[in-house]
């Protein structure tokens, strides 16, 4: 009997050693990117996520919805229809145009877990479709505090207009707001930030708010319409950089000089936006939130290996925007490549002493998170 026991124990130890020595299967994540593959912001978001995947030993697949909610839904159905062995462990979604709930439901039907990044559930949706409850396989969400973007960019724009005394004949500064869309959470919150800044400056008049669906061509048309009606504002606030450039195109076609005759603000960190800030064509810029998806990868990496982020909440909103000036824009353009960034420093799994996830952009943008 002792001999049989020793033999059984030896077999168990051998099996355990083999199991421990076997490589851990790489975690797989698919990201349904709501933007275009050639769109600077969404391309940089995907690149940051790819850098995080390399740092954390994950496999990432990026699928572009091309700003079409129907395509986003079709991509979710395609993932759910794959053979079981080809399905990802998690799918990262964004609630652009309100597709999150239906996407998460389609994936859950195939037992695929999901996570919302960039744009999460709307307040009215949360009442019924909360993560891990109303949507049991939606594991949580991470959003940049989008109101900060609207506020920071608007406040800097207004301050410059006041400092340069660009008042109209009525003694007031006139502002045109070109917003993204009416339903995406990040657009709604950016607009709230704009109004917060306006409330602090009662001498600034919001002449009009229009929507351009985040597109340069539509913003150009909206600005042309304002100028043709004889409404030339001193300030133009835009919900992203593409719409700011579209409005600039229309102003320049009328002989107006951005940065001199009227001031523009933008949100996002494209190279074109940084250069425009350095040259003075843009007067105000906020950004940094393109890292949201990369930070979502950190959360899913830890969750997959047993370190749940639920102790900090399932619906996470963190400050990820910073205000750029010309000097900061130059530093940003000279930053290390995204491929050099090490996202393990943000992981609680790799840093057990880390009490709270710190997802601010400053460390990454100034290069202090470069891989050793």
User: Which CATH number do you get for residue 361?
Assistant: 3.40.50.2300
Is 38 within a domain? Answer: yes
Do 306 and 270 belong to one domain? no
> For residue 360, what pLDDT is reported?
78
Q: Which residues in the chain show pLDDT less than 70? A: 1-24, 362-372
Is 49 within a domain? Answer: yes
Give 41-90 pLDDT, tens digit per residue: 999 999 999 999 999 999 999 999 999 999 999 999 999 999 999 999 99
Is 103 within a domain? Answer: yes
Residue 215, domain extent: 147-287
Do 223 and 167 belong to one domain? yes
Say which residues have a Cβ less than 8 Å from residue 94's Cβ, sequence separation at least 6.
32, 33, 34, 100, 116, 117, 118, 119
Do 159 and 136 belong to one domain? no
Is 84 within a domain? Answer: yes
Do 136 and 158 belong to one domain? no
* pTM of the predicted protein model: 0.84
Do 193 and 255 belong to one domain? yes
- What b/e readout covers 72-83, taking b as 16+ CB neighbours within 10 angstroms? bbebbeebbeee
Do 173 and 279 belong to one domain? yes
Which is nearest to 279 in space by CA: 243, 232, 237, 326?
326
Do 157 and 277 belong to one domain? yes
Do 87 and 134 belong to one domain? yes
Number of domains in the chain: 2
> For residue 341, what pLDDT is reported?
83
- What b/e readout covers 227-264, taking b as 16+ CB neighbours within 10 angstroms? beeeebbbbbbbbbbbbbbbbbbbbeeeeeebbeebbb
Do 32 and 99 belong to one domain? yes
Is 371 within a domain? Answer: no
Do 195 and 258 belong to one domain? yes
Secondary structure E strands in the chain: 28-33, 59-64, 90-93, 113-117, 138-144, 173-179, 204-211, 235-238, 263-267, 284-287, 315-318, 322-324
Does an H or E element contain 123, and which?
A: helix 123-126
């Amino acid at each position: 009997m002792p001999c049989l026991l020793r033999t059984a124990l030896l077999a168990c130890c051998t099996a355990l050693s083999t199991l421990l020595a076997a490589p851990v299967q790489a975690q797989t994540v698919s990201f349904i990117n709501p933007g275009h593959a050639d769109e600077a912001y969404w391309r940089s978001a995907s690149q940051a996520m790819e850098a995080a995947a390399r740092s954390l030993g994950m496999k990432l697949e990026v699928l572009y919805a091309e700003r079409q909610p129907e395509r986003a839904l079709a991509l979710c159905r395609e993932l759910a229809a794959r053979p079981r062995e080809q399905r990802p462990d998690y799918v990262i979604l964004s609630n652009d145009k309100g597709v999150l709930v239906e996407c998460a439901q389609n994936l859950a039907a195939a037992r695929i877990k999901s996570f919302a990044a960039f744009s999460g559930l709307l307040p009215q949706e949360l009442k019924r479709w909360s993560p891990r409850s109303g949507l049991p396989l939606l594991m949580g969400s991470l959003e940049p505090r989008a109101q900060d973007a609207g506020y920071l960019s608007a406040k800097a724009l207004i301050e410059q207009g006041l400092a340069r005394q660009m008042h109209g004949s009525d003694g007031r500064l006139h502002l045109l707001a070109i917003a993204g869309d009416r339903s995406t959470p990040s657009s709604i919150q950016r607009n709230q930030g704009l109004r917060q800044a306006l409330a602090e400056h009662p001498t600034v008049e919001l002449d009009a708010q229009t929507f351009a669906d985040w597109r340069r061509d539509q913003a150009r048309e909206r600005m042309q319409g304002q100028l043709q009606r004889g409404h030339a504002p001193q300030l133009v606030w835009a919900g992203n950089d593409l719409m700011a450039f579209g409005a600039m195109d229309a102003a320049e076609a009328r002989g107006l000089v951005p940065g001199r005759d009227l001031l523009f603000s933008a949100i996002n960190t494209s190279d074109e936006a940084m250069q425009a800030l350095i040259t003075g064509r843009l007067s105000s810029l906020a950004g940094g939130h393109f890292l949201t998806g990369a930070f979502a990868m950190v959360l899913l990496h830890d969750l997959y290996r047993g370190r749940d982020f639920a102790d900090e909440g399932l619906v996470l909103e963190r400050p990820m925007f910073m205000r750029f000036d010309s000097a900061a824009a130059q530093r940003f353009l000279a930053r290390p490549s995204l491929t050099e960034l090490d996202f393990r420093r943000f992981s609680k799994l790799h840093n057990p002493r880390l009490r709270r996830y710190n997802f601010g952009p400053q460390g990454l943008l100034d290069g202090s998170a470069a891989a050793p």
